[in-house]
Chains A and B, each alone.
Chain A
Amino acid sequence: LASIFSGMDPATTSKSNHCLDAAKACNLNDNCKRLRSGYISTCSRELSATEPCSRRKCHKALRQFFDRVPGEFTFRLLFCSCKDPACAERRRQTIVPSCSYEDKDKPNCLDLRGACRADHLCRSRLADFHANCQATFQSLTSCPGDNFQACLGSYVGLIGFDITPNYVDASTTSITISPWCSCKGSGNLEEECEKFLRDFTENPCLRNAIQAFGNGTDVSLAPKN
């Protein structure tokens, strides 16, 4: 079936796509629609040939979106489950990564962490993420207190800061999350850097939380009003 679909027009291949459903739900809600188009237009507005967008304004608009729109909309957009690449690419595109995420070069992850820690809000959001998504062997789900909700919430809390995480590709089989950084040039802090990066890239708690949300097996999400 996949081979039949792959040759088709891109506009018709994305039927029954959970990420598309999430966009629909947002568009039909006035508040979600307004704040979504708020960050999309800001993040995709070209300034000049050398500056594709204002990252500062884009991050601010993203923070407003995730702060002011209930999780029943924002989580669906970010953590929708996908069976085909078109869906996974849409999921990856949620935060307009060309502006909010990617950069010309990849900084060192510890430098990025340092930049985050210099901002009091980023610092506390990162601490929340480490506390709530810390992989543990003491629970069934690998999450502290089996609380997927808390982990996803603190992941969302990092979007729009220096440490903004995202899906690294449009893979449907394996979910890999990372901030835009690498551990090259860490010197003798290589081990610490790798440990920090693995909290995103190889974190079973975060991965399980995202998968459980996408599959609808995490029933604890009560609509936040």
Chain B
Amino acid sequence: GRRKRARARHKPCELRQLQVSVSDLGLGYQSDETVLFRYCSGTCEAAARSYDLSLKSMRSRRKIRKEKVRARPCCRPLSYDDDVSFLDAYNRYYTVNELSAKECGCV
């Protein structure tokens, strides 16, 4: 319901994980191998810096108008996990790097 959704939205930025097949990654590989996909999710409200507040202020005072600026930190990987290798449906091996997040933060 709505309350559950609201609560999920307010979770702070953190590492989450999913078990997915390599084909589901959408990278163009055809393989039934399952890999652990770790990603960053959550809000960054508590992580606003003076930078963000000032940027917001500049924007509202129309000192910054045409440029695309982001005045809110966002939840992104700070570092990535080790390489992942797998055998595809045609018996070829592939190695993918920076597939999974290792550490998350509000940047």
Contacts and interface: CB of A to CB of B under 8 A. Distances in A.
A93 interface: yes
Given A33-B82, A37-B82, A41-B85, A14 B32 contact: yes
Contact of A27 (B84, B90, B93): B84
10 contacts: A11-B31, A11-B89, A20-B33, A27-B35, A30-B82, A33-B36, A36-B85, A37-B83, A44-B95, A93-B87
B91 interface: yes
Interface of A: prevailing SS: helix
A36 to B, nearest CB: 6
Q: Which A-B residue pairs are the 4 nearest by beta carbons?
A: A37-B85, A40-B85, A24-B34, A11-B89
Nearest to B33: A23
Interface in A4-41: 9-11, 14-15, 17, 20, 23-24, 27-28, 30, 33-34, 36-37, 40-41
Contacts of B19: 24, 28
B86 interface: yes
B43 interface: no
Nearest to A21: B34
Interface string B8-37: 000000000001000100000011111110
A7 B83 CA distance: 33
Interface in A31-60: 33-34, 36-37, 40-41, 43-44
B93 A44 contact: yes
A34 B82 contact: yes
Contacts of B34: 23-24, 27-28
Contacts of B87: 23, 90, 93
Contacts of A44: 93-95
Contacts of B31: 11
Contact of A10 (B36, B83, B89): B89
A87 to B, nearest CB: 11
A89 interface: yes
A40 B23 contact: no
